[in-house]
Amino acid sequence: MTAATEAASLENLHVLYQSDDFIVLDKHWDLRIDSKMWYENNTVQAQLRHRFPQLADPDTYYGFRFCHQLDFSTSGALCVALNKAAAGRAYRCFKDRTVTKAYLALLRGWVEENRTIDFSIGKNSTEGKTHMMCIEGTEGKLCLDNVENVQPPARKYGTYNGEPATKVLLEPLTGRTHQLRVHCSAVGHPIVGDFTYSLGADDAPYRMMLHAHLLRLPLKPHTLQVTAGDPLLPTVDPKWLPQRTLRTAEDAVESLLDSVAAKEEQLEEEKEKKRREAEEEKRKVKKKNKKKAESEEQKRLCQDWLSEWGGGGD
């Protein structure tokens, strides 16, 4: 067993980024962010308290403000706000859906399609499966390797433990619970090692092969952008044997970020246009009001003169 495949511990907290306002972690697989269960001592919250006891906020239940969630089985970039104001700024980005996220995943089978998956997702009401999500319910969208439909998808074909598998880049366009896992399973390409959505059948891999690779929050005045390194490599798990690369994830991520930057620039231009239009409208109203005031003043002076002139003739 290598260091990359060892279970999480309080000591193996990997920090990708740290400032006065935020910490971004490379969350370990099979690790809860927090827990109210007395017997679960090993969580991301416990790791943070162990490494940064001075940063824990006594005004919060867990001591730290997690800006978003990652599943127990998912590894990768996780953002933590270190104060209330920073948490509010990050919350607005998630609420306005301006956050860019991309995940690396190893899927069962050879994925050929390049598509946006928009199945609705809701809670599974089946007895014994209420901890799961299922198709039909609240809306959820997933972009499967599809960066503006311009270039080929980021994709590596190969085998995992002798069976066909494809490494892909996933971009969630909304943020539903288990969204990536449910959608991939729904199109016939479940994530390798997803014990839950294989109904317990896929239990051979040491982990679920889903990793939060890119996280970008367009905060002001500086954007927070972090990449968590790729753990889905044959050097980490020799059972994964890539054979053919259609497009690298690095190239796809670069295209995705270029697309995001172009959209943000367009939005800024539209905002600036609206600001100028509002200022011009304000100037016109002010000019109109000024003319009206001048006209009323001239009318008053004229009436005063006529009164004086009329009075002078008596």
Other CB atoms closer than 10 Å to residue 79's CB: what's the count?
Answer: 26
CB 211, CB 75: distance < 8 Å:
yes
Tokens of 220: 């002001």
DSSP 233: S
Q: Which of 71, 145, 194, 202 is catalytic?
A: 71
Instruction: Determine contact, residues 21/217, Cβ cutoff 8 Å.
Output: no
Q: Which of 139, 143, 150, 145 is nearest to 173 (CA)?
A: 143
Query: Which residue is it, tokens 């599974």?
Result: 124
User: How far, rounded to the nearest angstrom, does the alpha carbon of residue 62 sit from its chain's CA centroid?
Assistant: 22
Cβ-based neighbours of 213, under 8 Å, separated by 6 or more: 76, 77, 102, 103, 104, 169, 227, 228, 230, 249, 253
**Catalytic residue list contains 21:** no
Active-site residues: which are they? 71
